[in-house]
Each structure stands twice: as structure tokens, then as C-alpha cells.
Structure 1
Amino acid sequence: MQATPSTSKTLVDELWEKRPLIISGPCSAESEEQVVETAIRLKKTGKVDMLRAGIWKPRTRPGSFEGVGTIGLPWLQKAKAATGLPIAVEVAMPKQVEDSLTFGVDVLWIGARTTVNPFSVQDVADALRGADVPVLIKNPINPDIELWTGAVERIAKAGIKKIGLIHRGFSSYGNTEYRNAPMWHLAIEMRRRFPDVLFINDPSHISGRRDLLLPVGQKAADLDFDGLILESHIDPDNAWSDAKQQVTPERMGEILNSYVWRHQKAEVENTELEKYRQQINQLDDELLHLLGQRMKIADKIGAYKKENDITILQTNRWNEILDSMSAKGEKLGLSKDFITKYLDAVHVESINHQNAVMNE
């Protein structure tokens, strides 16, 4: 099949500089009708700059829907012809890069399951060598910022001039609120490392739920992200993948209208200092969240002790914690005095929680 020429370079260049840049579309391309209708309805919102759709879907277990494959690329061509929206596709292997470029895909992105493997990233980078196409790079699944940085470096060495980042959250043990824990401080650190690179947020994959798209996207806007990539489907409840995090194009328009995009104040004299302060704020938020989780466990311990007539204070256990944590803290550059004061405060709060449970 003859490839359709890509959208004019001028349009893609203009969108790459646009703030905020909004990318939306279905998690997976399922049919020509679904892709084209989604694009047309998203275009009508007047808020979407680019159409995304999953053609190849790397899944955790075999037997799951893994995308329609190359046959879906002509559907994207027709959606682009009908709306004028440039199209973006995820690639994970050299053949996928080749097929995408053949069918005039305007922007490629590397997914989290690929970023986590340097060999896979290098294969994609080698396939991109000599191509003139923008590439977005999602953070790896696990919270390893060096893997993310390494992916940027590999794609840059392949000669790609337009490189962007997508923050889609990280897999985290014990995480319950989000599908993927945002760990905003890691995104902020990547922004510090690559201040001039397009950096967009993915509320859909962070949230995993429609009701969180607005607060997560707004937080990204408040943290000065350059745009968002969100999933939209004409029939979200019956989507073949990630149904719970997708919304109709019309609802997407409402959400996009609700976001408030602010600008950094020009009079801020030390932007580097401001970035460090944002990192501290995010880490403090996460520390409080972890402490809250710790106290919930303390409540369960209190209930167990009550049922089994065990005293709250266990001196030997407390001494072991002090010795162990003091040693670990010193290796991390924390003074023994600080660790002792911190643990004392946590211990007192834990005792108070257990006491409240035991004496209800």
C-alpha cells in the first residue's frame, strides 16, 4: 500500500512548541469506524491537537488483546485526512518503527515497558537512525530515573532532534490510590535534567480511573508540565483495553475545559531553587502519605495486641529498630541525633494509635 505523506513539517513543528499540547485518542485502535469517529468528535471539542491510538499493545500476559497491528495504521491515515490532526503511535520494535514511518505517522512514542529495557530502546534507536520524526519517551515502569535518562540519551544519539518526555507514573508496591503512583518528585527531577525538552503528563495511566483525570491533570498543569496525553473512546465501557480510564470525546472536552493552565512568574529570580523546593514539597507529601499508611498498620497491631492481651510497649523490639535504623540513616547521610528524634516521634504516634484501639 502506498504510504500517505505525513502532515506538513510546519504543523508538527508548531504543535511541538504549543503550550499546552493536548494529545488524545483511544487506548487501542479497534476498527476504522471507531478510530475515525473518535478523531472527528475529539476535533469538535476544539481542544485536541493530536490523535493517539495504540496499534501494538504490549501486555503482561499472553492471550490478552495486543493490538490490531499494522492493519490499523491506514485507519489512522483516514482519521488524519478527516480531521487534519497529526497522529501518534507507540513503537517497541524496529519493524513497528518501519511500518509507522511508512504509513506517515507524525509522532512516535516509546512505552514504559520498552523504556525499562535498554536493549529494546537501543533497537528502536537504531531503527530511527536517519529518520526525521519527533519521539516521546515514557518513564520506565519501575521508578528508575537513570533508565529514563538513558533512553533519552540513546534516542538523541540516533540523531532524533525533537525528543519529548511522558510522565505516566510508576508501579509501586502497596499503591492503592492510583493505577501507577505518580511519584511527582521523579518527574520534577527529569524536568531539572532536561529543562528544554517537551514534557507532558499522562493522567490516564496514572489514574486508571476516570474520576481522577481532572485532579491529576490539574496537578500536572500546576507543576508546569507542557501538556497532557489522555485516552478517549466513543464507547469507553466496552473498550478492548483500559476501559476504566477512558472517557467519551465529549466528556474529554469538558475535562480539558476545566483545567486551569498557569504560567511561571517571570520575576522568579532563581528557577533552579524553585525546582528544588517543588521536589521537597512532593517528597514531603509522599512522606506524609507513607506515615499515614504506617499508622494504619499500627492500628492493626493494636487490635491484635488487644485480642491477645499483649502490652503496647515491646522494649526489645524498639531497641532493635533504633539500632538498625540509626545505622541505615548514617549511611544515607542522616545524623544519629536526627534519626533518634524522628523515630521517637513516630514511635509515640504509633503508641497513641495502638492505645486508642486497645481502649476503645
Structure 2
Amino acid sequence: MKNLKLVNRIDDNGAKRKTEIKIGNITVGKDFLVIAGPCSVESEEQIMTIAKAVKSSGANMLRGGAYKPRTSPYSFQGLGRVGLQYLSKAGLETGLPIITEVVDTRDVYLISEYTDVLQIGARNMQNFSLLVEVGKVRKPVLLKRGMNATIEEWLNCAEYILNAGNPNVILCERGIRTHETYTRNTLDLSAVAAAKGLTHLPVVVDPSHATGRIDLIHPMTLSSIMAGCDGLEIEVHSSPNDALSDNDQQLTPSQFNSLMKDIKETLAFRENIIGIDK
């Protein structure tokens, strides 16, 4: 991967690099990141309730979609600016930094006013105009791997953002599309270990989109930790059956609270048995 001049783990002098990104009270790449929240911001009451619940369970960043790229044009597309306002208010009241997806170059600066981290979703991983645009702002960017993307293509997209001037990139493995239909996608945990070896950027995992199944989120979360990830992004909804999007893959607050206990135990095990690359 000779073209990876900026994301390469080894600098020009042969030394190993490691990026740490300060966001609010956490340092991604040093502190373990747990992003939690609903697929979509549906109302002020909904996002506020979930924000308080995930904060009490130990999450340290709040997610929620205000602009939703959907397969069908008739599906819920998000609340737009109003959703951003609700999400921002929930973040301020709970003290949680917030992350939301940007899908259009025209919305980058608007969304930057409300959020702490910009998310590039799988469908936009190779939207090069959007990558360059988020590279022009100083907000950290979470870059999801495209559903059909190779590891090299994924890392080259991160290179676009860094080359445009933004060094604060977090990679996110969220599963790739294979011939398997039982799960929504196929979680490629080998990509986590590979990316950690190839690049200095933090790598997180999204087991919600990777599996699309409530019963698989727990084991894949713990497996992701053992694969060496720097964090997780997990969808949580106070009433998943009534969710306006992705209701099959959102945990209840109670389920998330239980999962957080196992996350902490697994992190302790990784620290004691395997160790963490500093």
C-alpha cells in the first residue's frame, strides 16, 4: 500500500505513529470509545431519554441520525436541522459529545455547528467530494468502511481526508456484503487487526450494522474488543419495535446496560492477558 503516505503507521523515518484524538473529556485512541444512541433522532423526548440512559450505563459519546440515507425514497429520511438541534441539546444536557452522519457536501458546515464528530457512512465512503469537504474542517471524522470495499480502498479514503488537511480520522469497520443473508452484513474482524497494523488511526467497530440482529450484537461486541478495536458504535432505542428505522438491530437501554458490564470485563481481560499496543 505504497500510496498511504499519511495514514501509514510507519513514518518516513521508520518510526511507529499512533493518533490520539481529544473529543470532550475523552481521548480516542487512548480511552476506549463507546458510541451509543438511536439510528435516527425521532423527537426531542426520544433522544433525551436515550441519551440519559446510555450515559448512565457508561457510554461516552452519543449518536443519532438527523439526515438518513435510505435505500427507499419513501423511508424516514430524518428530521434534518431540527434533529440536529434535539441531538445537540441532548449532548449538552448529558455532557456527551455527539456524532451524526453527513451525507451531502452542502451540509458539512451546518452539521459542524451542532456536532462534535462527523460520520461518513458506508454508502458515502468513496464520495470523494464529501471526503475532501470534511477534510477542510477540523472536526474529527468517523469513516465507515463501504459494504463492498477492500481494506486498501477504505484506507485510501482516509488518506483523502488527511490529504485535505484534517488529521483527526477514526476508522469504523461495520461489516461487508457477502453471499451470506442470515446477517445484514458479514463482520470482518480481520480488518480490525489489519487496519491497526497498517495505520496509526484509531479503529472502532459497529456490531449493530454488521449483524443487523439483536442476538448477535453481544458476542460480536466482545469479539471486536478481543480483535483490538479502540471503540464501538452501538444502536440503542427506548422502544426498538416502534423505531422509524433499523428496529431489528437496536438494543433497549436495559440490554445495553447489561452489555456495558461485559464490555468493561472484556476490556479488563484484554488489558491483563493480551495487553494493549501503546
Q: Tell me which residue corresponds to 1:334.
A: none
- Say if 2:167 is the partner of 1:161: yes
Residue of structure 2 in register with 1:150 after alignment: 156
Give the number of equivalent residue pairs. 253
Post-superposition offset of 1:123: 1.7
Tell me which residue corresponds to 2:12.
none
Correspondence for 1:263 among 263, 268, 271:
271
Alpha-carbon contact 1:42-1:250 (below 8 Å) kept:
no
1:88 to 79, 84, 99: 99
Shift, 1:152, TM fit: 0.5
Say if 2:199 is the partner of 1:187.
no
Q: Residues 65-76 of structure 1 correspond to what in structure 2 (within 5 A)?
A: 65-76=76-87
Provide the residue aligned with 2:56 in structure 1: 44
| Aligned residue in 2 for 1:23 | 35
AA in 2 matched with 1:59: R
Counterpart of 1:59 in 2: which secondary structure?
coil
Superposed counterparts of 1:1-360, under 5 Å: 11-12=23-24, 14-45=26-57, 47-103=58-114, 105-115=115-125, 117=126, 120=127, 122-173=128-179, 175-194=180-199, 196-259=200-263, 260-261=266-267, 262-263=270-271
Give TM-score scaled by structure 2 length. Answer: 0.85
Deviation by residue 1:237-262 (Cα, 9 ceiling, x = unmatched): 11011101101223211111113111
CA contact (8 A) 2:175 2:187 kept: yes
Q: Using the alignment, how far apart are the partners of 2:137 and 2:101 within structure 1?
A: 16
Unaligned runs of 5+ in 1: 1-8, 272-360
Answer yes or no: is the 8 Å Cα contact 2:189–2:227 preserved in 1. Answer: no
Work out the CA distance in 2 between the residues paired with 1:219 and 1:140: 21
CA 145–88 in structure 1, closer or farther in 2 if over 3 Å, else same: same
Question: What is the CA-CA distance between 1:10 and the residue it aligns to?
Answer: 5.9
Cα distance in 2 for partners of 1:235, 1:217 equals 21
User: How far apart, CA to CA, are the structure 2 residues paired with 1:95 and 1:40?
Assistant: 31
Gaps spanning 5+ residues in structure 2: where? 1-20
Q: State the Cα distance separating 1:185 from its structure 2 match.
A: 2.4
> 1 CA distance for matches of 2:205 and 2:22?
24
- How far apart are the structure 2 equivalents of 1:137 and 1:209? 22
- Residue 213 to residue 187, structure 1, CA distance change in 2 (3 Å): same
Q: Distance in 1 between matches of 2:274 and 2:238?
A: 41
Which structure features the higher share of strand residues?
Answer: 2
Counterparts in 2 of 1:11 and 1:62: CA distance versus 1, 3 Å? closer
Percentage of identical aligned residues: 35
Alpha-carbon distance in structure 1 between the residues aligned to 2:273 and 2:213: 33
Which secondary structure state, in structure 1, belongs to the residue aligned with residue 27 of structure 2? helix
Distance 1:13 1:168 in 2: 25
Describe the shift of the 1:11–1:107 C-alpha distance in structure 2 as closer, same or farther (beyond 3 A). Answer: closer
* Greater gyration radius: 1
- Cα deviation for residue 129 of structure 1 reads 4.4
Q: Please tell me whether the aligned partners of residues 24 and 229 of structure 1 are also in contact (alpha carbons under 8 angstroms).
A: yes
Work out the CA distance in 2 between the residues paired with 1:253 and 1:223.
Answer: 22
Which protein has greater RCO, CA pairs closer than 8 Å, 6+ apart?
2
Deviation at 1:11, TM superposition (A): 4.9
Instruction: Report which stretch shifted further, 133-142 or 63-72.
Output: 63-72
Deviation, 1:177, is 3.7
Tell me how far 1:82 sits from its aligned partner.
1.2
1:11–1:263 Cα change, 3 Å: same
Which one-letter code corresponds to 2:108 in the other structure? V
Residues 148-181 of structure 1 show CA distances to partners (whole Å, capped at 9, x for unaligned) of 11210101011112111111000112x1342110
Q: Is the 8 A contact 1:91 1:110 kept in 2?
A: yes
Q: Deviations over 1:33-67 (max 9, x none)?
A: 1111110111121x100000011111122211122
Structure 1 distance, partners of 2:242, 2:275, is 49
| In 2: Cα distance, 1:244 partner to 1:56 partner | 20
- Alpha-carbon deviations, 1:75-100, whole Å to 9, x = none? 01110121000000111211221111
Greater share of residues in helix = 1
